[in-house]
A and B are shown apart, each in its own frame.
Chain A
Amino acid sequence: MIDEFLLIQKMKQGDEEAIDRFIRRYYEEILKYCSWRCFDAGYAEDLAQETFVRFFASLSDYRCRGKTKNYLYRIAGNLCKDFYREKKELPVKDEELEKSGVPDTMDHILDKVMVEEAVGALSAEFQEVIVLFYFQEMKLLEIADVLKISLPLVKYRLRQARKQLEQNMRKV
C-alpha cells in the first residue's frame, strides 16, 4: 500500500517512469477483466486503454483510499456496462482461436460460444460478480470492495448469477 501511495505521488508530480510502471503493473489484469466482459480482443484493448485514460484524467483529484487496483476495476466495470448498453453482437473469430493455440475442434468452439452467450446474457450486476470471482479469481471481500457493496450482497448476487448462468447454458 505504501509502495502504491508513493508511486501515485510520483505520478502526480509528472514522473513519466512512474506512469509507465503503474500502467505495466495493472494493464494485464484490467485487459483480462475487459476481455472476460466483452469477449472481443479488440474491444477489450480499447476498454482497457480507456480505463487508464480516465484514471489519469482525474489523477490530480484522486485520493488513495483503498486499493488503486479496485478503483481501476470500477472504472473498467462502468465502461463495460456502457459497452453492453450498445448491445454488440460478437461472433467468434477463427483467427482468435488459432492465436490462442487451442485445437480447432467443434467441441471447444461450441463450449466457448455457449459460455460467452450464457455469460453475455446475464445482467451487468451478475456478470460482474461471475467475471470477478471465476475469471479474475478474486476473493468475495475484494469483490465487495471493487463493487462498493456489502459482502452478503456479493454472496447473494453470486448465488443468483450461478443459477441464472446454469439456466442460460441449458437454453443455449
Chain B
Amino acid sequence: MNLEDRLENYKEQSRINIREEHVLDTIRKSQEIFYAKEQEQLLTYWEFLWTQFRLVKKKWWICQIFLLFFAYMLLPESEDPYFFRSGMGIAGVLFVILIIPELWKNKSYQCMEIEGTAYYSLRQIYAARILLFGMMDLLMLTVFSMAAHECMHITIEEYIVQFLLPMAGAACICFGLLCSRYAVSEGVSIVLCVVWGAVWWRVTANEVIYQSIQMQVWFALLMAAAVFIAAAVYKTMNQWNLCWESLKKEIHSI
C-alpha cells in the first residue's frame, strides 16, 4: 500500500465525533471572553462622537433644513423690505428653537442618572452633543449664507443684522437657561425665544428705531451675544456635574 492509500485509509477509519455539549460550551466561553475583552476596551473619542450622533434625533436637523429652504424660497419673493427683514429675523429665532428639544432631552426624559453612570462624564457627553449641533448648524448656515448672498443678493451686513443677530439672541436665551441653576423646562425656553422673536419683530417694524441704529452697534451686539453664548456653553459643561450632585442629594433625601 502506498503512502496516499495509507493516509486515505487512516482518514476514513478515524471518525471524529462532535459533541453538542462541547459546542455549546465553546459558544458560551467565546461569548464570555468577548464580553470581558469588550469591557476592558474604551471607546475612542471618534467612536463616542459617532455613538452620540446616532442618538441625536435627526428630525430636528431636517426641520432646520426645511426652515432654511422655505426662507430661501419665500423671502426673495416679497418686495416689501420690512417683510423681508422680519421674515429673516423670525427664521433665525425658529432655527434656534428647533434645537431646544435635543439640548433639553436628558432633563425631559430624566436620563441624567443613567448618563451619570457612563464612562464618559456628563460634561463630555454634553460637549459631544453641542459639538455635533455646532458642526451641523454651521454647515447649514454656511450653505444658507452662500445661497442668500448669491441668489437672494443679500449683503453680508444684512445677513448678519437680520438673520444672525436675532438667532444669536435666541441662542443666548437658550444656553443661558440651559446653564441656569434653576430647573427650567424646555417649554419656558421656547416661550422666551418666541418673546424675543416678537421683540425683534417690533424693533424691525419700527423704521425709526431700526434706521437709527448704526452698523457698528449691530456688530457689537453680535459680538456680545457670541461671547455670552461661549460663556454659557462653558458654564453648562462645568456646572453639569454640580447639577448631578444636587440631584443625587435630592434623591437621597427622599
Residues on A lying within 8 angstroms of B by beta carbon are: 11, 14, 16, 19-20, 23-24, 27-28, 31-32, 35-36, 41, 44-45, 48-49, 52-53, 55-60, 99-102, 108, 111-112, 114-116, 130, 134-135, 162, 165-166, 169
Residues of B1-37 at the interface with A, using a CB-CB cut-off of 8 Å, are 3-4, 6-11, 13-19, 22-23, 25-27, 29-31, 33-35, 37
Question: Are B3 and A56 in contact, with the CB atoms below 8 A?
Answer: no
CB distance from B55 to the nearest CB of A (A): 16
A-B pairs, 9 with minimum CB distance? A56-B30, A115-B10, A56-B34, A100-B15, A49-B26, A134-B7, A57-B33, A52-B30, A102-B13
- Interface contact A53-B15, CB-CB below 8 Å: no
Contact between B6 and A14, CB atoms less than 8 A apart: no
**Taking CB as reference atom, which chain B residue is nearest A130?**
B7
Known A53-B33, A100-B13; contact A166-B18, beta-carbon cutoff 8 A: no
- Per the bound structure, the CA–CA distance linking A36 and B8 in Å amounts to 12
At the interface, is chain A mostly helix, strand, loop or mixed?
A: helix
Contact of A19 among B25, B27, B41 (CB under 8 A): B27
Contact of B30 among A31, A36, A53, A111 (CB under 8 A): A53
Contact pick for B38, options A60, A108, A162, CB 8 Å: A60
Can you name 12 extra interface pairs (CB under 8 A) apart from A41-B17, A49-B25, A112-B10?
A14-B38, A23-B30, A27-B23, A44-B16, A45-B19, A53-B33, A56-B31, A56-B37, A99-B17, A100-B14, A100-B15, A169-B6
Q: Is the CB of A169 within 8 A of B34?
A: no
Most chain B CB inside 10 Å of its own CB: which residue of A32, A49, A101: A49
The CA of A23 and the CA of B17, in the complex, are separated in Å by 16
Contact between chains at B16 and A41 (CB < 8 Å): yes
7 contacts between A and B (CB under 8 A): A28-B16, A60-B37, A99-B17, A111-B13, A112-B14, A134-B8, A135-B11
Chain B, interface size category, equals 20 to 34
Question: Which of A16, A23, A57, A162 makes the CB contact (< 8 A) with B3?
Answer: A162
Q: A169's contact among B3, B8, B19, B37, by CB below 8 Å, is which?
A: B3
CB pair A27–B3 under 8 Å, yes or no, is no
Chain A residues, CB < 8 A from B10 = 111-112, 115-116
Taking a contact as CB atoms closer than 8 A, the residue among A31, A55, A135 that contacts B7 in the complex is A135
Complex Cα gap A14–B34 (Å): 8
Separation of A51 and B3 alpha carbons in the complex (Å): 30
Q: Which chain A residues lie closer than 8 Å to B11 at the CB level?
A: 134-135
Give bound CA distance, A59 to B13, whole Å.
36
Shortest A165–chain B CB gap in Å is: 6
Which chain B residues lie closer than 8 Å to A53 at the CB level? Answer: 26, 29-30, 33
A49 touches B29 (CB 8 A): yes
B13's contact among A31, A58, A108, by CB below 8 Å, is which?
Answer: A108
Chain B, residues 89-107, CB within 8 Å of chain A (1/0): the string is 0000000000000000000
Contact of A20 among B4, B17, B27 (CB under 8 A): B27
Q: How many whole Å from A24's CB to the nearest CB in chain B?
A: 7
CB pair B34 A31 closer than 8 Å:
no
